[in-house]
Amino acid sequence: MTPALTPAEVTTNLVAALFLIPIVFGFVIKAPQLVALGFIGVLFTFSDSTWGQLTTETTIYSRGSGMFYFSLLNLVLLTAGFAALLKRLANPVGPQLAPSMGKYFAAFVFLIAGHVVVGLMEGIELNVILGYNGIFNVINMMVFMYIVIMAFDSEEDSRALLWMIILLAAARGVFGAVRYFVFDGDTANPYRNFEGLDIKIFYFDISDNFVASVGAFCAAWLLTSPEARLGWFKRALLFGFLVLEIAAVALSFRRSSLIGLGLMFVFLFLRIPGKRKFMFAILGAALLAVVASIFYEHRLQFNNNESMLSSLIYDIAPERGIRNSRFYELYAAAQSMDGNWLFGRGAWGTFTGDRDRLSYHGDDFSFVHSGFGHIVLKAGIVGLLLFCGLLAAYVSFYRRHRNALSGDARLMADAGFAGFLFWVPTLLIGTPIIEFRTMLLLGLTLAMPFIAVGVRNVQVRRYQYDPNYAVA
C-alpha cells in the first residue's frame, strides 16, 4: 500500500505538476520529438513489473498515483496528448495522423465516458472507474500512438527513432547480461522466490522481453536485407547484438515471449527475398535449437519431463480439463458475467471463482490473464469488437502499404508489425491491458507503420516538387 503523503509533500507535488503542464505544452508544440523520445527512453529503460519480488517496490510508472487519479507519468502523457490535439486543431489542413484509427479512439473515449456516468450513478469511486485495472490503458495506448506519429514526421526524425530503439535495446541488453552473468539476475523472479526453483532469469517483465525482441528483429532485418549495405565490422556488431537479445529472451523463460519472438522471425522469413531464405532458415534453425534446449533444460523440465511439447503446454493440456488448467480463470470469469455479455461488468467489474485454484490472484479479481478476456469482462462484446476492429484496421493499413516502402521506412513498418506479432500471445494469455508500460509499447508498435508511410508520402511530395530529389 502506498504510504500517505504529508501536507508538505502534497503541496510540493501539486506545485510541481502545475509547473510541469506549461513546459509539456511548450515541448509538444515546438519539439514533440523530445517528448516522444523521452517517453521511449523511460519505457525502454525502466521495468514496471514487481511481481516475483520478495519486497514490494514502487516504480517510476506509479509515482504520484497516491495523490492523483493517475501517476505523474500518465498525467504528462495526457497533457501531451491534449497539447497534440490543440496543435492538430490549429492546423486542420495538415496530413491526418492515423485516419483508420480515429473512429476507434472516439468510440473508446465514448465508452469510458459511459462507464464514468454509470459507475458514478452506482456509487463507484471515480479513481476505481478510471483505474488501470479497467480499460483506461487503451486510451493511454492510443494517445501515445498519436504523439509518436506526430513527432516523427520526417526522414531524419524517423531514422533517429530507429537508432534510439536499437541503442536503447542494446544498452538494456548489456545491463541485463551483466546482472545475469555477474550477479543473481532479475530480482523479480517468481520461479525462485515463490516456486522454490533454482533458476535465475534475465528479465521477468514482458516489456523487457519485447525490447530485446524488437532489437533482435531490427538486427536480423539489417543482416538479411539486400538494401542494407554493411561492412564486415558492422555485421559482426549486429550479429553479436542479435545473439545477446535472443539470449535475453531465452534466459527470461517466458513462454509468451519465446512464442512472440518466434512469430517475429517467421514473419521476417516471409519478408526476405527468395535467395536469402535458405541461409536465414539454417541460421534460424540453429538458434532455435539452442534456445529450445536452454529453455527446456532450465525451465520446462520442472513442469513436465516427458517431452518438449508436453512441458510447453503442461498447464493447458486437454487431459487436465477446464477446472485444472490455466483456462479455469477465463471459465470462472465467463460464469460471472451474469447477463452482462453485451456491455460487460464495467471498468470496476470483478469475477468470482474457486479461490484455491485462483490463489495466484491473491484477493484481486478485477482482471484476468487474457487481454481479450479482460476487455470482455470490463466492456463486453461491444468493447471486444471495438478493440479487435482497431487491431484489424492496423493490420489492414500495414498490408496495404508494406510493398510500397523501402529503406528505413520499410524497416520501420516491418519492425512495428513484428512488434505487434510479439504482443499477440500476451494479448491471448497475459495481462497487457492493466499494464501502463506494456500498453504504451503496444502503442509504439501501432505507430511505426503510420510513421513509415507518412515519411514515404513526404518523400513522394518532395520528388514531385523537385525531380532531382532521390526517393529512398
DSSP letter string over 84-108?
Answer: HHHHHHH-TTSPPS-TTTHHHHHHH
Give a yes or no: residue 280 inside a domain.
no
Q: At what angle do helices 407-429 and 436-465 cross, to 10 degrees?
A: 160
Under the banding of pLDDT at 50, 70 and 90, the label for residue 36 is: very high
Under the banding of pLDDT at 50, 70 and 90, the label for residue 220 is: very high
**Please, what's the largest Cα pairwise distance for the chain?**
71
Mean pLDDT, residues 107-116 taken together:
95
Mean pLDDT, residues 170-190 taken together:
91
Residue bearing the bigger pLDDT, 31 or 107: 107
* pLDDT (0 to 100) of residue 434: 94
Under the banding of pLDDT at 50, 70 and 90, the label for residue 141 is: very high
* pLDDT (0 to 100) of residue 2: 45
Position 1 pLDDT exceeds 80 = no
Give a yes or no: residue 1 inside a domain.
no
Q: Which three cell numbers stand for residue 84?
A: 497534440
Give a yes or no: residue 321 inside a domain.
no
Position 471 pLDDT exceeds 50 = no
Q: Give me the sign of the Cα torsion angle 165, 168, 171, 173.
A: negative
Threshold 0.75, pTM exceeds: yes
Q: For residues 197 and 405, what is the distance between their CA atoms, to the nearest angstrom?
A: 48
Mean of the per-residue pLDDT values of the chain: 84
Task: Give 79's contacts (C-beta < 8 A, 6+ positions apart).
Answer: 20, 21, 24, 25
Q: For residues 384 and 371, what is the distance between their CA atoms, to the nearest angstrom?
A: 10
Give a yes or no: residue 139 inside a domain.
yes
176 with 202: CB under 8 angstroms?
Answer: yes
User: How many CB atoms within 10 Å of residue 329?
Assistant: 23
Which residue, among 347, 408, 319, has the nearest Cα to 137 in the 3D structure?
A: 347
Give a yes or no: residue 333 inside a domain.
no
Mean pLDDT, residues 127-156 taken together:
93
Taking only the tens place, the pLDDT of each residue in 290-329 is 777 776 666 655 555 555 555 555 555 555 556 666 788 8
110: three-class secondary structure by DSSP: helix
Side chain identity, residue 46: F
Mean pLDDT, residues 364-391 taken together:
95
Specify the DSSP element, H or E, that contains 44: helix 32-45
Taking only the tens place, the pLDDT of each residue in 450-462 is 999 987 776 555 5
User: How many CB atoms within 10 Å of residue 246?
Assistant: 24
Give a yes or no: residue 60 inside a domain.
yes
User: How many CB atoms within 10 Å of residue 176?
Assistant: 24
* pLDDT (0 to 100) of residue 66: 64
Q: Which residue has the cell 476507434?
A: 104
* pLDDT (0 to 100) of residue 460: 54
264 with 417: CB under 8 angstroms?
Answer: no
* pLDDT (0 to 100) of residue 100: 84
- Residue 393 belongs to what domain range? 7-273+364-465
* pLDDT (0 to 100) of residue 323: 66
Give a yes or no: residue 16 inside a domain.
yes
Mean pLDDT, residues 351-371 taken together:
86
327: three-class secondary structure by DSSP: coil
Mean pLDDT, residues 243-256 taken together:
90
Composition of the chain by helix, strand, coil, percent to 5? 70, 0, 30
Under DSSP, the state recorded for 4 is P
Q: Give me the sign of the Cα torsion angle 117, 121, 127, 129.
A: negative
* pLDDT (0 to 100) of residue 63: 80
Under the banding of pLDDT at 50, 70 and 90, the label for residue 339 is: confident
Question: What stretches of 18-61 adopt beta strand conformation (E)?
Answer: none
DSSP string, 6-18: PHHHHHHHHHHHH
Q: For residues 13 and 356, what is the distance between their CA atoms, to the nearest angstrom?
A: 41
* pLDDT (0 to 100) of residue 461: 53
Question: What stretches of 264-342 adopt beta strand conformation (E)?
Answer: none
Specify the DSSP element, H or E, that contains 236: helix 232-250
What's the half-sphere exposure (Cβ side, CA atoms, 13 Å) at 317? 14
How many Å separate Cα 395 from the centre of its chain?
Answer: 16
Taking only the tens place, the pLDDT of each residue in 52-91 is 777 777 788 888 766 667 888 898 899 999 888 888 887 7
Side chain identity, residue 363: D
Q: Give me the sign of the Cα torsion angle 402, 405, 409, 411.
A: positive
Q: For residues 295 and 288, what is the distance between their CA atoms, to the nearest angstrom?
A: 10
Find which of 8-12, 268-272, 401-405, 434-438 is predicted with most confidence, using mean pLDDT.
434-438
Q: For residues 254 and 43, what is the distance between their CA atoms, to the nearest angstrom?
A: 19
Give a yes or no: residue 307 inside a domain.
no
Position 214 pLDDT exceeds 50 = yes
Q: How many domains does the chain have?
A: 1
Count of H helices and E strands in the chain?
Answer: 17, 0
Q: For residues 313 and 5, what is the distance between their CA atoms, to the nearest angstrom?
A: 46
